[in-house]
C-alpha cells in the first residue's frame, strides 16, 4: 500500500521562509516577473533565483520542467525547486507541474509557494499522483521512511481546503488500482483480490463475493472454463455504491480480472510473460473508481463487477476446441485458450445487465495485444454502440488527459467469429484483432443497452515513467470514469 501525500493549504507567511526546512517550490514563467513568495526567496538567496529564471536554460524549459537550487545560501531549506509554468496553462499542464513536485519530493517536507496561481487543486493532484512508489516488496534499507508533507501556501486557503477531500479521494482510487496492478500474482490471487475488495465495505460500499458454486448455478460456464486449470478459485465480486436517488438505474462498470494470464494450454512465449500480472487491470480500475466514489460520498448509483480468474495450463485446464455455454445461453468454441478475457467478460456483462438493468455499461479489459500494436501506449481503444454515451466518455477522458481513441465496430467483423460447431468462436483471426474481440463482447450486450468497451492493454502498465506515474501501473481511467460520473450521473 502506498500512502497518499495529502496536501494541506495555508496562508502564505513570508517571514517564515528563511527558517523553513525541507523543500521549497516556487513557480516561474521565466523572465523577471515574480510573485510575492518568489521575490522573498530571491532576496534571501541574494538574487540567485532571478539568475535562474532569467537564464537561457530556463527560457528553453517546457511547462512542468524543473530546476533545483540545492542548499541555497541564506535559507534553512535543503532545496528550492523552480518549476516552469505558464499562467494561462490548462488542467493537464497544471497536473504535470504537480508531477514535477511529486517526483522530487521523495519523502521530504515540501512547501509550495502557489500564491494566487489558478489550478492549484490540479497541481496538488498531480503532485499526489506522481509521489506514488510501490515498495511493498523491497526490503527496507537505510533510506529514510516516507513521512513527508505537502503544504501549499496560498492566498485562498479556505476555498482550497474545502476541495482537499475530493482530491485525495481521486488519488486514493488511483493508488488502489495501481497497487492491485503492480502486485505480483503469487500475492494477488483471486482470493486475495476478493478480500481486498471486501475490505472496501469499511467505506460504505456493499460488496458481495460469488464463489464457484454460485457461478455454476448462474450458468457462467465461459468464465469458469477459463479458471478451471488454476488452484485459485474463480470469483465474481459485486460492489455497489448507491449514493444516488433510490430506484434510479445505476451505471455499471465491469472489469476483466485475470490475476495471471499464461495463455493456458495455448501458452504464451516466456519472454515478457511476467507482465501478465497486470491482466487484471480492468478489474483494478473498476475497484479504484468504486473506492473514489465511496470516499467522496458521490451522489450517484454505480455498480462495479469484476470477474476474477487465473488462466493456467493444467491437466484440468480448458483445451482448444472445447465448447462452453455462457450464462446468456450462447455456446462458444474456444479456439485459443489465450483469448480468455472475452470469455470472462461475456458472463459478467450478462450478469450485470440481468441483475441491475443498468442505465449504461462500461467494461474495461487488458483484452488484446492487437490494441497495443494499433494504438501503442498513449491511447486506449474505445468501442461503443451509442454515440452520445461514447462522446460523454471521450470528453471525460480528454478532461483528465487519459488517452482514449474510438475504434470501429461492424457486422463484417462479427462474421470473422463464425464457428463450425458452436454459436460463435472466441477468436476471429489476426486482422482487426481488437475489433473482433469487441464484437465478441457486443454479442453479450443487450440491444438497447448503451455500452462502452475500453481495451486498456497498452496503457494499464507502462515501462517508462510518465508525468503522473513512475514506471509500472498507471491507474488509467480511474479519473476519467470518476469524471464521467461527476458530469453525467450525479443527482
Ligand atoms: N491479456 C492478453 C492481452 C494483452 C496483451 C494484455 C498484451 C496486455 C498486453 C489477452 O488475454 C490475450 O492473450 N489476447 C490474445 C488474443 C489472441 C489469442 C486472439 C492476444 O492479443 O494475443
Ligand atoms: Mn490471454
Ligand atoms: Zn488476458
Q: Where are the alpha helices (DSSP H) in 252-368?
A: 281-295, 341-356
pLDDT over threshold 60, residue 144: no
pLDDT confidence of residue 142: 66
Q: Which of 267, 368, 459 to mutate to test the pocket of ligand 1 (most atoms within 8 A of CB)?
A: 368
> 243 CA distance to ligand 2 centroid (A)?
36
Q: Confirm or deny that 256 is annotated as ligand binding.
A: yes
pLDDT tens readout for residues 197-244: 999 999 999 999 999 999 999 999 999 999 999 999 999 999 999 999
Q: CA dist 288 to 200, 389, 458, 474, Å?
A: 10, 21, 18, 11
Q: CA dist 68 to 34, 53, 83, 178, 393, Å?
A: 17, 11, 9, 29, 39
Catalytic, 268? Answer: yes
pLDDT over threshold 60, residue 482: yes
Closest residue by Cα to atom 14, ligand 1, is 368
pLDDT, mean over the chain: 97
> 273 CA distance to ligand 3 centroid (A)?
11
pLDDT over threshold 80, residue 377: yes
pLDDT over threshold 80, residue 381: yes
pLDDT over threshold 80, residue 145: no
> 485 CA distance to ligand 1 centroid (A)?
29
Percent of the chain having pLDDT more than 70? 99
Closest residue by Cα to atom 7, ligand 1, is 369
Cβ atoms of residues 84 and 58 within 8 Å: yes
432 torsion bin: left (phi>0), alpha (psi -120 to 50), beta (else): left
Q: Ligand 3 is a single-atom ion; what residues have CB below 5 A from it?
A: 258, 261, 279, 341
pLDDT over threshold 90, residue 426: yes
Please give the CATH topology (third level) of the domain spanning 7-155. 3.40.220
Q: Residue 2: pLDDT band by 50, 70, 90 thresholds? A: confident
Domain ranges of the chain: 7-155, 168-488
pLDDT tens readout for residues 28-62: 999 999 999 999 999 999 999 999 999 999 999 99
**Atom in ligand 1 nearest the alpha carbon of residue 258:** 1
Q: Which of 338, 416, 424, 426 to mutate to test the pocket of ligand 1 (most atoms within 8 A of CB)?
A: 338
Average pLDDT over residues 136-151: 82
Q: Residue 143: pLDDT band by 50, 70, 90 thresholds? A: low
pLDDT tens readout for residues 76-112: 999 999 999 999 999 999 999 999 999 999 999 999 9
In this structure, CATH architecture of domain 168-488: 3-Layer(aba) Sandwich (3.40)
Cβ density class 374-409: b for 16+ within 10 Å, e for less: bbebebbbbbbbeeebbebbbbbbebbbbbbebbeb
**Atom in ligand 1 nearest the alpha carbon of residue 437:** 19
> 236 CA distance to ligand 3 centroid (A)?
16
Rounded to two decimals, what is the model's pTM? 0.98
Amino acid at each position: 500500500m502506498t500512502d497518499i501525500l495529502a496536501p494541506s493549504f495555508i496562508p502564505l507567511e513570508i517571514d517564515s521562509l528563511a527558517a523553513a526546512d525541507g523543500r521549497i517550490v516556487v513557480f516561474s514563467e521565466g523572465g523577471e516577473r515574480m510573485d510575492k513568495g518568489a521575490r522573498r526567496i530571491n532576496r534571501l538567496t541574494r538574487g540567485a533565483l532571478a539568475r535562474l529564471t532569467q537564464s537561457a536554460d530556463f527560457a528553453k524549459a517546457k511547462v512542468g520542467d524543473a530546476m533545483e537550487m540545492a542548499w541555497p545560501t541564506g535559507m534553512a531549506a535543503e532545496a528550492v525547486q523552480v518549476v516552469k509554468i505558464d499562467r494561462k496553462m490548462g488542467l493537464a499542464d497544471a497536473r504535470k507541474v504537480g508531477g514535477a513536485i511529486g517526483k522530487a519530493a521523495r519523502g521530504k517536507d515540501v512547501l509550495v509557494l502557489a500564491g494566487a496561481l489558478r489550478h492549484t487543486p490540479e497541481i496538488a493532484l498531480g503532485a499526489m499522483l506522481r509521489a506514488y512508489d510501490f515498495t511493498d516488496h523491497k526490503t527496507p534499507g537505510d533510506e529514510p521512511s516516507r513521512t513527508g508533507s505537502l503544504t501549499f501556501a496560498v492566498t485562498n486557503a479556505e476555498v482550497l481546503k474545502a476541495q482537499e477531500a475530493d482530491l485525495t479521494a481521486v488519488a486514493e482510487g488511483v493508488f488502489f488500482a495501481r497497487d492491485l496492478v503492480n502486485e505480483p500474482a503469487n500475492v494477488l490471487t483471486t482470493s486475495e483480490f476478493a478480500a481486498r475488495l471486501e475490505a472496501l465495505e469499511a467505506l460504505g460500499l456493499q460488496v458481495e463475493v460469488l464463489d464457484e458454486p454460485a457461478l455454476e448455478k448462474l450458468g457462467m460456464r465461459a468464465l469458469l472454463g477459463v479458471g478451471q486449470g488454476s488452484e485459485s478459485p474463480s470469483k465474481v465480486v459485486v460492489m455497489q455504491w448507491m449514493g444516488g436517488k433510490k430506484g434510479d438505474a445505476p451505471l455499471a462498470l465491469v472489469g476483466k480480472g485475470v490475476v495471471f494470464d499464461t495463455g493456458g494450454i495455448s501458452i504464451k512465449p516466456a519472454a515478457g510473460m511476467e507482465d501478465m500480472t497486470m491482466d487484471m487491470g480492468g478489474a483494478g480500475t473498476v475497484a479504484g473508481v468504486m473506492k473514489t466514489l465511496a470516499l467522496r460520498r458521490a451522489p450517484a448509483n454505480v455498480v462495479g463487477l469484476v470477474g476474477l480468474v487465473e488462466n493456467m495450463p493444467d491437466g484440468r485446464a480448458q483445451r482448444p476446441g472445447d465448447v462452453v455455454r455462457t450464462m446468456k445461453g450462447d455456446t462458444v468454441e474456444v479456439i485459443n485458450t489465450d483469448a480468455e478475457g472475452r470469455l470472462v467478460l461475456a458472463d459478467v456483462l450478462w450478469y450485470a445487465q440481468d441483475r441491475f438493468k443498468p442505465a449504461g455499461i462500461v467494461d474495461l479489459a487488458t483484452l488484446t495485444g492487437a490494441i497495443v500494436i494499433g494504438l501503442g501506449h498513449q491511447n486506449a481503444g474505445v468501442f461503443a454502440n451509442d454515440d452520445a454515451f461514447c462522446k460523454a466518455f471521450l470528453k471525460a477522458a480528454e478532461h483528465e488527459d487519459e488517452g482514449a481513441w474510438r475504434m470501429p465496430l461492424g457486422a463484417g467483423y462479427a462474421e470473422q467469429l463464425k464457428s463450425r460447431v458452436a454459436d460463435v468462436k472466441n477468436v476471429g483471426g489476426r486482422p482487426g484483432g481488437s475489433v473482433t474481440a469487441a464484437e465478441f463482447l457486443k454479442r453479450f450486450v443487450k440491444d438497447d443497452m448503451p455500452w462502452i468497451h475500453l481495451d486498456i492493454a497498452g496503457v494499464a502498465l507502462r515501462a517508462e515513467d510518465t508525468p503522473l506515474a513512475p514506471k509500472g501501473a498507471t491507474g488509467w481511467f480511474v479519473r476519467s470514469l470518476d469524471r464521467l460520473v461527476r458530469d453525467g450521473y450525479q443527482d
